[in-house]
Amino acid sequence: MTDLTELTAVQLVDGYRKGEFSPVEVTRAALERAGRIQPEVNAFVRLTAEEATERARESAGRWRRGEPCGLLDGVPVTVKDILLMRGHPTLRGSRAVSPDGPWDEDAPSVARLREHGAVFLGKTTTPEYGWKGVTDSPLSGVTRNPYDPTRTSGGSSGGAAAAVALGAGPLALGTDGGGSVRIPASFCGIFGLKPTYGRVPLYPASAFGTLAHVGPMTRDAADAALLLDVIGVPDARDWSALGPAPGSYTDALAGGVRGLRVAYSPTLGGQVAVRPAVATAVRRAVERLAELGAYVTEADPDFAEPVDAFHTLWFSGAARVVQRLGPRQRAVLDPGLREICAAGARYSALDYLAAVDVRMELGRRMGAFHESYDLLVTPTLPITAFEAGAEVPKGSGHRRWTGWTPFTYPFNLTQQPAASVPVGTDGEGLPVGLQLVAARHRDDLVLRAAHALFEAGATGPRLTPGGS
């Protein structure tokens, strides 16, 4: 018998259309899987089983009548607990947020999913206010890696990544302000896309400003394209949202990589020390791109590490997040968050604008780079998952999470589309991710190249749900 939790969203919709199974069966299977994995990996803040079952029943009725209401009717999806979901608290991983309502509004991406008939399984875990690259918080504890529960799932969309990896819904909404979709996608062996800034509207606006993106977290690029077709449309509540997409991202998948100009930068010009097992897995996938017809050149983008500018913007945003909290609320914050908020509060307006200048120059350089190359390929991360409950790997010498994420946060500064593609495992069986980056507005190229790797089998076998 088919394990319904193994199927992608594309396969589920096809099965509903053919009458092979129903949204009720699929939802029950996904909820059962979510309940089973929760004690070990802690992917969920809460499950919304009753509501999910009711939405699945309504969807089943529509499919029986041959009248699905959208592209994802009856497909289970999870929502990171940073995004508003009507009827349920959005606590943002914080004990400082009151669960009292009213919670009467959906975030734009959630609203589009609701319109398309998706079934909401629940809210997934996040570090407090999504501030770091691992997922643990004073509110919900530590979220663990599906491949090894002693390791971190990454973050800040760690619960979303763990849920997808273990079959608790094929689709998840994550957010990414410095790598928060791509980091856990890499650590958990799934696909994660940070679209061009504004492609997926965000409301309420993030205190981290135009660093923050909403993106799909899925098993493969085809599901991400389908999800982006649904959520990547304008919403009047976000003044910085882009206009309608130029076409269907799903339709664009078939383009392949033949003739694309690909720059492969294994270490950003020697700036990053990459573990050998990671480097080997990424290089093997890059060679596969060449075999598929891409013109691959080893070339580095011309920029120095912009971490100081990123910290100025990120820490200032964190300080803004907690600005209105009283002493009692501040006392229950994650100690690391309190530290960066204190640092952020010390920056001046001129410091902030100087960081914006660095950002603008980085964007100019990457714009020029993409006149010569359609895609940039790097490792997503220089390492694989480390011990759970720590912000940085033990003995690494890093102070903050940005020390081990040098490939991800620069492309939040530039607002470019960037994705993490699973390309194998290291010697300990932990996933390795490859990052694809394109010029702003060329999300289609990122998805096309990722889809080509999936179709060619370059991403390897997926984790068996419930296994290790």
Residue range 94-122: mean pLDDT, rounded: 97
Residue range 363-373: mean pLDDT, rounded: 98
Confidence class for position 463, pLDDT limits 50, 70, 90: low
Is 348 among the catalytic positions? Answer: no
C-alpha 236/C-alpha 67 separation (Å) is: 28
Is 98 among the catalytic positions? Answer: no
C-alpha 409/C-alpha 180 separation (Å) is: 9
pLDDT > 60? residue 422: yes
Task: Single out the residue of 203, 175, 208 nearest to residue 413, CA to CA.
Answer: 208
Confidence class for position 309, pLDDT limits 50, 70, 90: very high
pLDDT > 70? residue 18: yes
Summary mean pLDDT of the chain: 97
Percent pLDDT > 90 in the chain is 97
User: Which pLDDT belongs to residue 78?
Assistant: 99
pLDDT > 90? residue 259: yes
Residue range 268-289: mean pLDDT, rounded: 98
pLDDT tens string 396-408:
999 999 999 999 9
Task: Single out the residue of 404, 421, 426 nearest to residue 277, CA to CA.
Answer: 426
pLDDT tens string 310-328:
999 999 999 999 999 999 9
User: Which pLDDT belongs to residue 437?
Assistant: 99
pLDDT > 70? residue 216: yes
Q: Which of 156, 186, 206, 420 is catalytic?
A: 156
DSSP assignment of 267-328, as one string? STTTTS---HHHHHHHHHHHHHHHHTT-EEEE---S----HHHHHHHHHHHHHHHTTT--HH
User: Which pLDDT belongs to residue 460?
Assistant: 77
pLDDT > 60? residue 464: no
User: Which pLDDT belongs to residue 81?
Assistant: 98
Task: Single out the residue of 148, 139, 212 nearest to residue 174, CA to CA.
Answer: 212
Residue 21 sits at φ, ψ, to 5 deg, of: -160, 170
CA-atom Rg of the chain in angstroms:
20
Percent pLDDT > 70 in the chain is 98
Residue range 426-439: mean pLDDT, rounded: 97
User: Which pLDDT belongs to residue 465?
Assistant: 41
pLDDT > 70? residue 241: yes
User: Which pLDDT belongs to residue 2?
Assistant: 84
Please tell me the pTM assigned to this model. 0.98
Is 80 among the catalytic positions? Answer: yes
Confidence class for position 461, pLDDT limits 50, 70, 90: confident
User: Which pLDDT belongs to residue 254?
Assistant: 95
pLDDT > 50? residue 332: yes
CB 86 within 8 A of CB 103: yes
Q: Which of 59, 80, 186, 420 is catalytic?
A: 80
User: Which pLDDT belongs to residue 468?
Assistant: 36
How many other CB atoms sit within 10 Å of the CB of residue 134?
A: 27
pLDDT > 50? residue 21: yes
User: Which pLDDT belongs to residue 361?
Assistant: 98
Residue range 67-91: mean pLDDT, rounded: 98
User: Which pLDDT belongs to residue 98?
Assistant: 95
pLDDT tens string 135-194:
999 999 999 999 999 999 999 999 999 999 999 999 999 999 999 999 999 999 999 999
Domains defined along the chain, listed by start? 9-455 (3.90.1300.10)
pLDDT > 80? residue 101: yes
Confidence class for position 467, pLDDT limits 50, 70, 90: very low
Which residues neighbour 262 within 8 Å (Cβ) at sequence distance 6 or greater?
286, 289, 290, 294, 295, 296, 297, 373, 374, 375, 376, 377, 449
- At 434, the amino acid letter reads L
